[in-house]
Structure 1
């Protein structure tokens, strides 16, 4: 008999999970011995470039694919052996879904609600997702952002214990995105757990209690966003301008400076510096170098993601290779500095 209660009461538990797909030149390994746990009441982010294994992870969690090896429990259930029972407690919002285009928003949600024994009311979900003005609009007439909010609403209507969201804020304007985030937090406050796959650095850093970075089928790092930043990207970035031709030799010799990037714009040189000692660098900038427009930027998940995967966070959806210099897209010259 399948075990019902996972160790430590985890909402999601993966133990040494491996998934292989047969290929013309041998097996393709999508997951390589993944160990992961998500606690009840967490908003947990799953990050990674295309091909990292995010989709396979989600599909094994909800019983759409059987792992080649390892153990999975979701809300205490085996996703493959107890799929019908698990479906009563898990809701998934995919990036795209086939819906009835000629139904209105409220009609579609009424249909969705009819599938569950104790659903939320359509009007409550409509208000939560900021769709009150579109209540009686046909689905075919919705904008991309409205449609995305509606898909999240179809997942929320069942009052799931576990809500799985796949890039939910795609196509949303800032106001709609904030409404989505509020709805996700409300779900957590009501006792729900959220698994969120996203390519939005801001979304992951702002919304998630913890995140896991998947890379080549393995967990490269897992923890609270600020803990990952402190562990993997303790440097700060300083951005400033100096007159063109300024000798940056003193800055290169500053202890803690690991990288300098500069490019000339007219009579000025714009410079970006990575350093562990921002105070010493700032003193030099404000004094001998006479730098202007000095800005200090804390490292974020963008930097952590790039260091762990070699891919820029915002390019992860298309699998683009990262430029290790990575301070902007203008023509530039870069220098590595040994700290």
Structure 2
């Protein structure tokens, strides 16, 4: 099956700075792929190359098998980008703006339905210059959706949105996937990436340092799961020695006793063990399992020269790498 998006050994340089270095990934049709990374990692440059707005110095981009720069007419009707910001006609209303962009497409979606779908009903008659930041972000999403594209690129679609609007955006992304559309999104919300994305790639300083299914990347941090609980101050600390085979045990004084933390690869086993140690009497038990955010923070903090930054060594725990 042909990939919906292919990025192969992509390199882009700005003067003396390498913005992207040997970037490679594929996105299958109907897949949601998250491109994650700190600010300045190269996410927006990657989007510009996918959209045909920038010609890479080296490497290749293919959108549904087409070069987005040389075959722009074949790509434009089938791909839409929701940018973080854009210059719109400030004196048009929301409804007028969506209808204007609908007129640019041969078979657009119904503007009123797109306005409702993006939560813009209450401000449909409001002029663009009077929109809040979150409302303008939703308007940009409506503009991207109106042409019913096969591939949708969303650049931080939930930034600046309240929880209800974020949930609505998440439902839109799920709906796109359910109808076979392909989505590439960037986000700083790791919970959003975990729940929405089939696969993610992590960019650091222009290099792809990891890719795979979010849950598999999170599980790779399982050794850093933590079980916390509180015990009375007078309890024999030798009892905690029974937890040593399961992980690193730390404790510190708190107003209501001692707070114990066990760093472990098997939090379930720790919870079972503390429950049955006579005399321990743990309370206020909580479990923090390794998450995609843990993985992201650890890998984003790694030195740029770390060998994992070499695309030939990037692990893809779902597809076996590139």
TM above 0.5, one fold? yes
Map 1:100-249; keep pairs closer than 5 Å: 100-243=89-232, 247=237
* Cα distance between partner residues in 1 of 2:174 and 2:46: 23
Offset at residue 66 of structure 1 (A): 1.6
In structure 2, the CA distance between the partners of 1:65 and 1:268, relative to structure 1 (3 Å rule), is: farther
**Where does residue 271 of structure 2 map in the other structure?**
282
Q: Match for residue 250 of structure 1? A: 240
Listed as ranges, the gaps of 5+ residues in structure 1 are: 1-7, 312-339
Cα pair 1:41 1:193 within 8 Å, conserved: yes
Which of 12, 22, 30 is equivalent to 1:19?
12
**Stretch of structure 1 that moved more, 70-79 or 185-194:** 185-194
Tell me if the contact between 2:223 and 2:263 (Cα under 8 Å) persists in the aligned partners.
no
| Count of aligned positions | 299
1:139 to partner: Cα distance: 2.4
Q: Is 1:254–1:281's contact at 8 Å kept on the other side of the alignment?
A: no
Distance 1:30 1:145, change over 3 A: same
Q: 1:155 to 1:271 in 2, by over 3 A?
A: farther
Q: Output one character per residue of 1:152-179: Cα deviation in whole Å (capped at 9) or x when no partner.
A: 1111011111111011111212221111
Output the TM-score relative to the length of structure 2.
0.85
Q: Distance in 2 between matches of 1:175 and 1:156?
A: 19
Distance of 1:289 and 1:99 partners within structure 2: 64
Q: Residues 251 and 68 (structure 1 numbering): CA distance in 2 closer, same or farther, change over 3 Å? A: farther
Query: Whole-Å Cα distance in 2 between the matches of residues 105 and 16 of structure 1?
Result: 40
1:298 partnered with 2:285? no
Task: Give the superposition deviation at 1:211.
Answer: 0.8
Equivalent residue number for residue 324 of structure 1? none
Paired position in structure 1 for 2:320: none
Tell me how far 1:252 sits from its aligned partner: 9.2
Structure 2 gap segments, 5+ residues each: 303-322
Q: What per-residue deviation string (whole Å, max 9, x for no partner) do you get for residues 113-152 of structure 1?
A: 1121111121010111122222222223333322221111
Shift of 1:101: 2.5
Deviates further, 69-78 or 230-239: 230-239
